[in-house]
Amino acid sequence: MANTGLLICSNPFRLLRIFPQIQRDVQSTLYVHFFPIPKLDKKTVRHRFMMIDAYKNLSPMNVDVRILLCGLKGTFDNQIATKRPVDVIFYDDHIKSEQLHHVMSSLSNKSPNCKTVFVQPNDACNSIDTKETTQYDEMENELYESVVLGGTFDRLHKGHKILLSTAALKCTKKLTVGVTDISMLNSKKLKELIEPCNTRISNVEGFLKDIDPTLEYEVLPIYDIYGPTIHDPTFQMIILSEETMKGGELINEKRVKAGLRPLDIIPVPLLEEDKTTSDCCEEEEQKISSSNYRMRLLGTLIKPPQPNNNIPPCPYIIGLTGGIASGKTSIANHLKDLGAFVINADTLAHRLYDINQPAYQEIIDVFGPSILTSNNEVDRKKLGAIVFNNKDKLEQLNTIIWPLILQRVKSIIESTKDHNIVVLEAAVLLSANWQYHCHEIWVSIIPPNEATKRLQERNNLSEKQALDRINSQPSNCEYVKNANVLFSTLWSCNFTHIQIKRAWSSLLSRVSSIH
């Protein structure tokens, strides 16, 4: 299998007949190159934008497809420059031998053993060749020297590629792209999984320079919905998705007030998500979006575990943690049903407060007899009111309790003989540095506002009391940074179960390879 391929195509309509034939032969990246359009009439200009249909129908492709724009724009010169070295060149029966030879000699970045492979188009898709459409007619009116667009661009997907490619097709000189800073993303689903801004900027810039190296690019962070659009007089046109048209109107209002020419606006249709794939769930958005891609990461291995020589390889210990009210216990119960041996650190901690237990007298010595009930038992509600309002007091309690819990956990694990997988459910796992006693860390997160709501309902707390407890823990970002596998119980029970089954199946494969 080749790492990177280049498909030479004479007509955008033919792409869908060829893709199925080569998708199993390319592992990482597939470039697509069209021969230059000889003249600009209505039909050929429309063909420029057929790359939208091409990207739209690439759902079977699990590789990074990049349609080179030099042929579509008629800017083909003596060189085809790709960022990644090409291992194989695919061509169909419409490509003549001299054209193939020309591409081979013009390709500046190819591997030493680059080969050519003939592809027979799939005749079952023959109707695609002659299909006509007028939906792109509005895009053919004129080209612009300076084009601008903006977005989050998390985990570049085909919707992003269409936006960026459309902007590049309409641009003749300079393309400016604003990438939203993390400060603008608080309302995004699973915002903790959004790539850093500098990573997203690098990905956008790399993609654009790959598909059209002839343009000048400026890719920069933006901190509001306007970015540079309301003060740069050189901008002529803005590319927007259908759902952000209102933003374009607001930009133009600001430009007019500033004495600037309003931008021409070209909307790009949203792409519908194909929910027939196995990775999709009913909770996902109907459109193709980065949010859907982040949801599909739940229950998968987002960071490979590192070998832990501090503990024996068996049993394999999963540290399950997350913020308060994030659904850890429901996840642990489901893992128990699947065959894991579950240890609940909170339950062990509660027993340590009992009379004649190791922590009992030491807690009284530190916090005083006022925390006792009439039966001389530790009133955990009174104790909680003290420690969750005083960081120093909380640290004092943790210093007493945490070592005793860990001692009990180790004792239980040593006596566990019938289970290969042990799940240690512990809210304090990271704070207590217990991750070093686990092989993997699994984390459950929910948004802070949802955690506050759940905690108020479950524990009958005021909003302030709930927030005090939430703020005493690591942030969601801190949890995610340490996670090998991530869950979220924000959605339906069914979706939570899908995540857990996905994680368990993957875990069994990893454990079997170890043992």
Q: pLDDT (tens digit, 9 = 90+) per residue, 205-257?
A: 999 999 999 999 999 999 999 999 999 999 999 999 988 999 999 999 999 99
Residue 14 pLDDT greater than 50, yes or no? yes
Q: Look at residue 140 in the predicted model and tell me its pLDDT.
A: 57
Please write the tens of the pLDDT for every residue from 392-403: 998 999 999 999
> Does residue 133 have a pLDDT over 80?
no
Please report the pLDDT score of residue 49 as a whole number.
66
The residues facing 265 across adjacent strands are 238
* Protein fold of 298-340+419-514: Rossmann fold (3.40.50)
Fold of 144-268: Rossmann fold (3.40.50)
Domains 2-118 and 144-268 share a fold: yes
pTM, to two decimals: 0.89
Q: Around 210, how many Cα atoms within 13 Å sit in the side-chain half-sphere?
A: 23
- Answer yes or no: is pLDDT of 446 > 90: yes
| Cα–Cα distance for residue pair 166/179, rounded to 1 Å | 17
Torsions phi, psi of 315, nearest 5?
Answer: -70, 155
pLDDT tens figures, 479-495: 999 999 999 999 999 99
Structural domain boundaries in the chain = 2-118, 144-268, 298-340+419-514, 351-416
Residue 130 confidence class, pLDDT cut points 50, 70, 90: very low
Beta bridge partners of 421: 316
Strand residues in 181-315 grouped as ranges (E):
216-222, 237-241, 264-268
Q: What six digits make up the tokens of 327?
A: 């659904």
Q: How does residue 37 score in pLDDT terms, banded at 50, 70 and 90?
A: low
Average pLDDT, the chain: 89
The fraction of the chain above a pLDDT of 90, given in percent, is: 69
**What whole-number distance in Å separates Cα of residue 352 and Cα of residue 357?**
5
Closest CA to 83 of 55, 107, 113, 51: 107
Q: What is the dihedral of CA 502, 507, 508, 509, to 10 degrees?
A: 100
More confident position, 70 or 426? 426
Q: Which two tokens stand for residue 51?
A: 């790359």
Q: What percent of the chain has pLDDT over 70?
A: 89
Q: Is pLDDT of 63 > 90?
A: no
Query: Class of the 351-416 domain?
Result: alpha beta
Question: In CATH, what is the architecture of 2-118?
Answer: 3-Layer(aba) Sandwich (3.40)
Q: How confident is the model at residue 94 (pLDDT cuts 50, 70, 90)?
A: confident
> 504 or 100: whose pLDDT is higher?
504
Cα(296)–Cα(316) distance, integer angstroms: 25
As a 3-state breakdown, the chain gives helix, strand, coil percent values, each rounded to 5, of: 45, 20, 35
